[in-house]
Structure 1
Amino acid sequence: MKTLNIFLIAILILILACSTSQELTYRPVDSKELWNIRIEKGSVSGQFEVYINDEMVFEETPDMFNDRIDEKTTYKDYPVRLMVNKEKDFWGSEEYNLLLFINNELVTQMKY
């Protein structure tokens, strides 16, 4: 029983440690409020989560056939768009290129 508990704890730590997160701040045009944006990608699930001021805006997994995400929503009456494309680098390694637009303005470009 003790061995099983240790194994389950190790698996849980591995799953939690296998996600990457990046944060940035953004101030929309004509606004005084600063937004805290956090983008997370789960290594096991491949799911991307976008939070603005700790409110989940996107929770998306790339399409199974073309490894892309192109989703739109609104946050505080501003249009928000998430675009993710899977690419291969020079050495053949796969990575995701993420673009986040708010009010049709590129806010960030990240690679995972």
Structure 2
Amino acid sequence: MTTEQFVKNFYQEKQHILHSSFDNQSEHRTLVSTKIEELSLNKIQTEKLKEIVSDLLTDTFYTILLGLDGAGSIGDSQESFKIFDEDDNLISESGDLEGLAYEYFHENK
């Protein structure tokens, strides 16, 4: 896996969580989608909530990636990490994630 694939996978996970949170048609609904449906929001309110949840997920995933990259803190600690795949191949080391994370999460690559 490359550094870009690693970041892209985080972005795809964010998109999956967002979609499943507002999916009320699937037989495998999530707890979140059930709770959102129980709010009985109209279409405009649902879209506004979807925007808010999307922004929250973007901030969360972006912050985690920056924390792993050493460009941000995780909790009270800021340090960089080297990320390896299961075959011990280096995926990322300090500074590799920040730019790609910005492209995916803030420029909608």
User: Could you tell me the TM-score, scaled by structure 1's length?
Assistant: 0.29
> More strand by proportion, 1 or 2?
1
> More helix by proportion, 1 or 2?
2
User: Could you tell me the TM-score, scaled by structure 2's length?
Assistant: 0.30
Structure number with higher relative contact order (C-alpha < 8 Å, ≥ 6 residues apart): 2
